[in-house]
Amino acid sequence: MASPKSLYPFRRHVPNSQTPNALFEHYYECASDDETVLQVWCYTDKLSYRVGETVQFYVSTTAKKYELLIAREGQRLEPVAHYNNLPGLFYKAPADCSVNGCNWPVGFELTIPGDWRSGAYIITARVLSQEGKAFDQHHIIFVRSEKPAPLLLIAATSTWLAYNDWGGSNHYQGITGPDKNQYSPIVSTQRPFSKGFVVLPKGAPRIPIRERLAAGAIPRYPHMEWSYAQGYSKKYASAGWASYERHFVRWAEAEGFDLDIASQHDLHFGQVDLSHYKAAIMVGHDEYWSWEMRDQVDQYVRLGGQVARFGGNFLWQIRFENDGQTQVCYKYRFEKDPYLHDVEKQHLTTTCWEAEPVNRPGSSTVGLNGTRGFYAGWGVAVPRGSGGFTVYRPEHWLFKDTDLYYGDVFGTEAKIFGYEVDGLDYYVQDGLPFPEKAEEAKNIDILAMGLATLAEDDHGLEGAELFMGEEDLNFVARALGVNDKAGKEKLKRAAGMIVTYHNGKGLVVSAGTCEWVAGLIHQDFFTQQITRNVLTRFLFER
């Protein structure tokens, strides 16, 4: 084999000159068609397995031999398997692989040993150049043993799929449409994850701004700058194991909490029985859900189950097709969803949960709504906010042993409030917030809050390019039928909240922010103690 030309075989996506904000077009990662470029890529048939099941690996490499290294990631990284000198074969990535999958043949199979512990397993596919330099590509699977742990973490894998831009397209940007510049409402599970979704180096910036924005300064988006400079996906900080679930699992195991982990596919297809667990947990950026997923959680809670959601942005309905290998979400173009005009299926239209004809607010499942929250702490969306939650009901058991008082703000140093948050319409009476809607007020208590916005206001600063602008505000106003000036102004002013929600015999605790895990990363005392309080109560006191 000839010497490799590059250890970073990315196709660079040249921004279309018609794109209104070409500065933020991403470089997407994909296999190179050039067989002289050293590369290896890997994905699996599923994301979640039980011990004894067989994992199918789909591998494409230009090297004659490759390695697979597998390690369990918990409190620490524990190597469990190393397969060396596997025969390498190269398969091109079809131009539509991000939509219809890579369709590579099975390159390796592994039956999961019975002694593997429940948890997340990092897979490193590795090839070496003639000079001995490694090219690594990372994947992840979850394994569950026969005996359930008391707690189940449901990883936000549908959000991972929505943001994964490997091959060119995701639910945000893409190379579909007549001009090859549109996001795709259809994405495939059968492709690798982009760089940064599974493994990140220390120091990779999170999305919330850590330096206070000076008066008159133009907004910056440090995580995007870093991703361009280091060759990572622009979306690495928005979704994925490395930015979110990993940090919760490491903290939980260090604290002695025993977890199983499942994918949202498991939840959707009924492949995990929630009744076997004391509580179900969701963390991080948890944006995309299916109707069936919500049915599973709602039934579990009504019958006495418990949910701890340390995550934010409960917003979009999705569907799975093609036996779960295809995820569908038309989002802003929901009028093109074929289910919209089918009377029997129109409730499954892939738009935001509160919109017609879906009419299933997220508050009925997790106690909060994505459309009444959104942005805080990045760009010029509340850029000088505290970065934490203000406490309104410190006497609640959630705040036990925190020494928090009414009006205290916690999580500010760690920036736990952002970058997307969930809230409710609310009013304040005698210094306390209450849900505005009667059906929510009966069962939901607001314990803490912070301010958010659905838009970035343009102050006309020279040289400023706003990433969010008013695009989401205009969509939500249209989708909810409040597309006038007064309706938009109300939508623009929003909040993120911590609430408890009583549903039937069960209880949901929601800390409606993507960045709760930042408090665990930075060892914020209050965030850690509140998390302990919730998990301990769910394990032992209910």
For the chain, residues with pLDDT lower than 50 are: 1-26
For the stretch 213-224, pLDDT in tens is 999 998 889 999
Q: Which residue stretches of 427-511 are H helix? A: 438-441, 471-479, 485-492
466-491 pLDDT, tens digit per residue, is 888 899 999 999 999 998 889 899 99
Q: How many degrees, rounded to 5, is the angle at CA 21 between CA 99 and CA 241?
A: 50
pLDDT at 107: 96
The predicted structure's pLDDT at residue 27: 63
CATH of the structural domain 22-147, one choice from 2.60.40.1930, 3.40.50.150, 2.130.10.10, 2.30.40.10 = 2.60.40.1930
Q: Enumerate the domain spans of the chain.
A: 22-147, 195-540
How does 55-92 read in b/e, with b if 16+ C-beta sit within 10 Å?
bebbbbbbbeebbbbbbbbbeeeeeeeeeeebebebbe
Q: No. of H helices and E strands in the chain?
A: 12, 25
Element (H, E) at 111: strand 106-111
Sheet holding 40-44, edge to edge: 40-44, 54-61, 106-111
Q: Contact at 8 Å (CB) between 236 and 197?
A: yes
- Confidence at residue 7, expressed as pLDDT on a 0 to 100 scale: 34
Neighbours of 519 (CB within 10 A): 29
C-beta separation of 361 from 443 below 8 A: no
Position 468 scores a pLDDT of 86
Cβ–Cβ under 8 Å, residues 475 and 374: no
Q: Which pLDDT belongs to residue 130? A: 87
Interval 383-420: pLDDT, tens: 999 999 999 999 999 999 999 999 999 999 999 999 99
Nearest-angstrom CA–CA distance, 40 and 67: 10
Report the distance separating Cα 212 and Cα 377, nearest Å: 10
pTM: predicted TM-score of the whole model, two decimal places: 0.94
SS3 labels along 286-299: CCEEEHHHHHHHHH
Predicted pLDDT of residue 542: 64
Strand runs labelled E in 329-443: 369-376, 389-391, 409-410, 419-423, 426-429, 432-435
Cβ atoms 524, 516 nearer than 8 A: no
Distance CA 24, CA 223 (A): 12
Summarize pLDDT for 287-336 with one digit per residue, the tens: 999 999 999 999 999 999 999 999 999 999 999 999 999 999 999 999 99
Residues 6+ apart with CB under 8 A from 209: 220, 222, 377, 378, 383, 415
Cα angle value 101/104/107 (rounded, 5°): 135
Percent of the chain with pLDDT over 70: 95
H or E element in which residue 40 lies: strand 40-44
